[in-house]
Structures are given as structure tokens and as C-alpha cells.
Structure 1
């Protein structure tokens, strides 16, 4: 039976490349985007399904889940990819409004989407959730002076990705019948706000692809990059 995957923020970057690779692997692919124009264009390029969905809007997420249910009986894989970096500011200029805006997409968006699509995941034989995080949110990397991540000072983004790690652990413990993992794509050049990465999009999606195609006895509650397990 064909497996179904839904990828948030699938119209560009890592989401787009993940959709391309999973489509090639035989998945029935749904991508979401808050921009109907951009999402429809990307879906046409990929020859996949498209749902309008803004992860920061509860009603938008609920409507997308409802529309998904009219087209598919189950969801095998949910990839929570949608995310924003937030503006780079001097520490004295970081305020609660910035933190709230970044968390609303990167953290609360995962909660909204996961909760809305859980009923469809529960109908799958081997349900999988992949949360796209970042090494910038890793305490292990941030405190190791040898890493690139330790040089980054971005409180809103880093804190939001650290929160994604804890969310991943909590969902993994609460949903033992599912495989729930967080991934660090690594420094990937996907354009837009992420132009400085050394990796290409295919390399950046290696960990996403691996975690999205786990077997029923695969790992859960882990944080990985394309080379293996990372420290939280």
C-alpha cells in the first residue's frame, strides 16, 4: 500500500527537496504553504498534492486537516518543516514580540499541526513524525567552541529549536506506537534567509529522508543529522 506524507512549508527549500525525494521513493505527497500561489506552483512542479495552510493560524490548520481527510484515509508521515529564522538583532534589541513571532511558527506551529493530523497518523500502520530542528538549538553544539553553531547568537531562533527538541521527546514518550524524531539538516544553502550553508538541498534533506522512511522498529525520541545521533 502506498504511504502518504505531508510536509509543511513544502513549497521551497528543504520542504520542496524532501517532497521531491519522497515522491521519487513512491510516496503520495502532500505539501502545504501559506501562500496559495507559491504552493500551487510548487505542487505543479513536483506533481504532488497541495493544501493551503498557515501553521500560525489554528483555523487554517484545522481546515487543511479536514480537507486532507477528504482525500486520504491515513497519514503515514508528518514532516513539520515550516520555520522562520527571525531577524538577526543585537541582544539589547531582542524583545518578547520577536520571540513570540518565531515561536509561533517554529514551536506552536508544530503543536497545531501535529494535534490536527494525529487522527490520521493513528490510522497508519507505522506512523512517523519528523520535526525539522537545527544544530543551533543544540546545547551540546552551542557549548562546544569547535562547532560553527557555537558562534551563532540568535536567541529567538536558537531557543525555538531547543524547544522543538523537548517537544519531540514529549511526543515520542506519549506516542510509543509512533516514531517521533528531530533532525538537524545542517548548514544548507536553500536560498532566501538561508544562503550561507555549504550543503546543497539534497544533502540537507538526508536526515529528513532517513527518518521519514523508518521501519516500525526504527528509533524514536532521537536528534540526528545526516551523519548520525547528535547531542541535545
Structure 2
């Protein structure tokens, strides 16, 4: 399929981990995938690895915390393909794992810069291209620890943590709660446009963000994001879906 007719996807933070696997799985489904990465060397190495598998993947220099980088990436996409069918906002950082009263406002600010403000920056920059597709999908990579309902109940809906031991991570957890609110805001804003906007919790995946202590593989973690990225026109918008080992996933509480 040529770039003039292929469905086009952008995956941010895709040079490793879950993002890399999402790019791989979307490529295997026939999409032309722009692999977003802020580090050129790592991004091009990831591009080469996926292209060696016969996938149409292109490195896209993209630092979600840098307005100029985002603007240039959007311009390149506009010039090369002129539309966008899938945006997976995967880039994220974990921040310090410290008690709340030992987590500084600067720690929180740095995590929000990537996990929240970066998503807003990228989404707004690429929305004109998403609107040019007949239908488009935005998937924001969240986490079950961003569920306010679960936090209020002190109960992890995924069962990873024992009852009464909901994780306390001021920077990361609240950034994902904010991201969930951002997801719902865009979903409501774009209702009726054909653009579906949803949040995905990949599950407790072994990646750099948790020192590879997760229980799931990146292949398992990519399942729900790819499912939401490839919804048909009757698919849901404004949902929070998590990995639970089943084909359809687990609907998580906001």
C-alpha cells in the first residue's frame, strides 16, 4: 500500500518499550507508522529494526515537551502525508517514587510536562491532520493508578496491589488522573466528528519506567492501545480500558 492511500499513525515515545511494540503491531496491520522519539539515534535504530521486519515505519523527531519540535513534526506530517488516522500519546515518565510529603512541586511539574502538557501540545498540533481523515483515533496511554474512583476506594481494580494498598505516587498517579480528564475533555469536544478519543491502561508491563519489575510483556501491554487505535466507526469514545488478559479488556473507573 502506498503512502498516498495507507492509514497513517503517529506513536510518541516509540523508540522502546510499549511504544515500540505499539508501532510494531500497528505496522503489522498495514498502517504507515511514524515512530516518534526525541533521541535521533535511538529513534533511527528503532526505525531500522521495524523496517527490517518489512514494516513501513518512519522515524519522526518528536520531543513532546518542546513546542518547536512538535510544530516541525506536524509540518513534516502535513507535507509528507497530509492526514492522520491514529495518534497514540504514549510518551511518558514515571517521576520519583517517594512519599507525598517528600515529593517536591518541581518533581510533579516535570512529570506533568511530559505526561499531561506534552499530550495537549501534540494533540492540538496534530488535530488538523486528524480532522482530514475520514475517521481517526486518539489513544492516551494512562494507568490504573490514575483512577480517582480506585484511589478513593483505596482499591486497585487490576488486582496488582493488595486491597487497601493503592499506590501513592504523587507525581505519576496525579499526572495520569489529569491525563484521564484531558482524555474526556477531548472526547466530548470531538463527539460527532468521527474522531474517537480513549484512554488505555496497558497493565503492569516490565519497562524502564518501573525498572522492568512489571508482570506483563510489552506485547501484552500493547494489546489495549492497539485495540483502541483500530476501533471501527461504531466504537466507543470517552472510555478507560485496561489490560486484563481478555480480548476485549477491562473497563476501568475514572
TM range (shorter): over 0.9
The TM-score, its normalising length taken from structure 1, stands at 0.96
Q: Kindly provide the CA deviation profile for residues 30-66 of structure 1, in whole angstroms up to 9, marking residues without a partner as x.
A: 0111101111110111121011111011111101111
Distance 2:20 2:127 in 1: 23
Moved over 3 A (4+): 143-146, 148-151, 191-194
Distance 2:153 2:211 in 1: 23
Q: Does 1:169 align with 2:184?
A: yes
Match of 2:89 in 1: 80
Q: Does 1:216 align with 2:216?
A: no
Distance 2:229 2:8 in 1: 11
SS of residue matched to 1:115? helix
Match of 1:159 in 2: 174
One of 110, 135, 140 as aligned partner of 2:149: 140
Distance 1:192 1:98, change over 3 A: closer
Superposition pairs for residues 23-172 of structure 1, below 5 Å? 23-47=27-51, 48-147=57-156, 148=160, 150-172=165-187
RMSD (Å), alpha carbons: 1.3
The TM-score, its normalising length taken from structure 2, stands at 0.88
One of 179, 195, 200 as aligned partner of 2:196: 179
Contact 1:23 1:29 in 2 (8 A): yes
Distance 1:36 1:141 in 2: 38
Distance 1:75 1:11 in 2: 20
Q: Does 1:204 align with 2:208?
A: no
Using the TM superposition, name which of 44-53 and 98-107 deviates more.
44-53
Structure 1: which 5+ runs fail to align? Answer: none
